């Protein structure tokens, strides 16, 4: 039996995989995507942990550095807080002192005004009393 | 005609770009475009519909995972043919039953066009199933995909001259196989 190349082409014609091939594949793709995400997250965690597990000296050094950094940071922060509180207290004291000085100055000024007015009244009173004294002296 | 081809190429380029960015619809469009090719290579090689579908799905899953390496629609076609061929050969290595398969067990009936002889096409498919793996792939690439010897050489990683000689030998083996089969039928009748 003879066959031509066209017969062979016909026998090897492309075939369709049938309905639902793409849907089934896309479902597998979604599944692979989800599995891939989980695997990469686990892998990253595992890698991180295994790196530290195989380098205990590095891990201890890193912990010591972290503790030292936390200690220095905490000390500096408390110092800063202390200095800030002092500064605020000093500022408040200064303000109170200024207010007291202002009140004292105002009180002194008020007293001086009162003294001036009293002097003025006394002078007037003396002037009015003077002629009567002269008359009284003349009668005696 | 050229305009349609250019439009088609542009559409596939866009689908490829969108797929690389993670667009599932665009990837489905690429799958629909190439599923016939991948499935048919696997089907003609394995002669088993469900195995061929599994293999085609594996190929597209691998494509999804390596999409960022695909540079163009032409590269995609080349990649799909190459990976499908490699997977077919791997499958053949895993299961040695293909070489020993009896002609009667082989393929499903062929849906022939009006001009072709359905019996001849069926016999051709049966004979193809008995060819060694590399020969089978060369014949599939030549007559299903219409590739030239140089393209087949590139896809199957073989020297061009080897492709030509393999093709020649494969056609001779197919003719021999068909003649033998006809004789067997005659002896059975007379």
Q: Which residue has the tokens 């989800």?
A: A34
B168 touches chain A (CB under 8 A): no
Most B CBs within 10 A among A4, A7, A12, hence the mutation to make, goes to A12
B124 contact residues in A (CB cutoff 8 A): 3, 7-8, 11
The model's pTM: 0.63
CA atoms of A70 and A75, how far apart (whole Å): 9
Helix, strand, coil in percent for chain A, rounding step 5: 90, 0, 10
Residue B103: pLDDT band by 50, 70, 90 thresholds?
very low
Residue contact A3–B178, C-beta within 8 A = yes
Q: How confident is the model over B27-49, as a mean pLDDT?
A: 92
Tokens of A43: 């892998």
B30 touches chain A (CB under 8 A): no
Residue contact B61–A29, C-beta within 8 A = yes
Residues B107-190, CATH architecture: Orthogonal Bundle (1.10)
CB B127 within 8 A of CB A11: no
Residue B187: pLDDT band by 50, 70, 90 thresholds?
low
Q: How confident is the model over B51-55, as a mean pLDDT?
A: 93
Most A CBs within 10 A among B15, B30, B64, hence the mutation to make, goes to B64
Which residues 6+ apart lie within 8 Å of A109 measured at CB? none
Query: Domain extents for chain B?
Result: 1-95, 107-190
CB B53 within 8 A of CB B112: no
Range in A49-63, A124-138, B109-123 the model is least confident about: B109-123
A29 touches chain B (CB under 8 A): yes
Residue contact B175–A22, C-beta within 8 A = no
CA atoms of B119 and B75, how far apart (whole Å): 37
A10 contact residues in B (CB cutoff 8 A): 112-113, 115-116, 121
Distance from CA of A70 to the nearest CA of B (A): 43
Q: How confident is the model over B154-166, as a mean pLDDT?
A: 94
A17 touches chain B (CB under 8 A): yes
Residue A140: pLDDT band by 50, 70, 90 thresholds?
low
Q: What region does B49 belong to: left with phi over 0, alpha with psi -120 to 50, or beta?
A: alpha
CA atoms of B186 and A94, how far apart (whole Å): 126
Residues B1-95, CATH architecture: Orthogonal Bundle (1.10)
Same topology between domain B1-95 and domain B107-190: no
Query: Domain extents for chain A?
Result: 27-139
Q: Residues in chain A, how many?
A: 140
Please give the radius of gyration of chain A, using alpha carbons only, rounded to the nearest integer.
Answer: 52
pLDDT digits (tens, 9 = 90+) for A64-95: 999 999 999 999 999 999 999 999 999 999 99
Which residues 6+ apart lie within 8 Å of A13 measured at CB? B40, B113, B144
ipTM value > 0.90 = no
């Amino acid at each position: 039996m003879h066959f031509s190349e066209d017969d062979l082409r016909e026998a090897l014609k492309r075939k369709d995989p049938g309905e639902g091939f793409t849907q089934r594949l896309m479902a597998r793709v979604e599944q692979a995507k989800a599995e891939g995400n989980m695997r990469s997250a686990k892998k990253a965690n595992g890698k991180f942990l295994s790196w530290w597990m195989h380098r205990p000296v590095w891990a201890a050094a890193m912990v010591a550095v972290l503790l030292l950094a936390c200690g220095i940071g905490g000390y500096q922060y408390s110092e800063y807080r202390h200095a800030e509180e002092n500064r605020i207290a000093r500022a408040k004291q200064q303000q109170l002192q200024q207010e007291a000085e202002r009140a004292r100055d105002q009180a002194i000024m008020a007293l001086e005004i009162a003294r001036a007015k009293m002097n003025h009244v006394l002078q007037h009173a003396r002037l009015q009393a003077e002629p009567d004294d002269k008359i009284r002296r003349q009668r005696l | 005609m050229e305009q349609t081809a250019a439009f088609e190429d542009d559409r596939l380029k866009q689908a490829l770009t969108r797929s690389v960015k993670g667009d599932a619809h665009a990837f489905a469009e690429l799958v629909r475009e190439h599923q016939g090719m991948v499935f048919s290579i696997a089907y003609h090689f394995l002669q088993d519909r469900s195995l061929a579908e599994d293999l085609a799905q594996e190929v597209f899953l691998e494509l999804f995972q390596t999409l960022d390496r695909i540079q163009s629609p032409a590269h995609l076609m080349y990649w799909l043919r190459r990976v499908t061929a490699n997977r077919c050969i791997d499958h053949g290595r895993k299961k040695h039953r293909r070489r020993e398969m009896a002609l009667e067990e082989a393929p499903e009936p062929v849906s022939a066009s009006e001009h072709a002889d359905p019996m001849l096409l069926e016999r051709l498919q049966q004979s193809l199933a008995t060819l060694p793996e590399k020969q089978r792939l060369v014949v599939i690439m030549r007559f299903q995909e219409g590739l030239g010897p140089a393209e087949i050489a590139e896809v199957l990683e073989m020297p061009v001259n080897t492709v030509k000689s393999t093709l020649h030998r494969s056609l001779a083996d197919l003719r021999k196989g068909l003649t033998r089969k006809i004789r067997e039928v005659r002896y059975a009748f007379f």
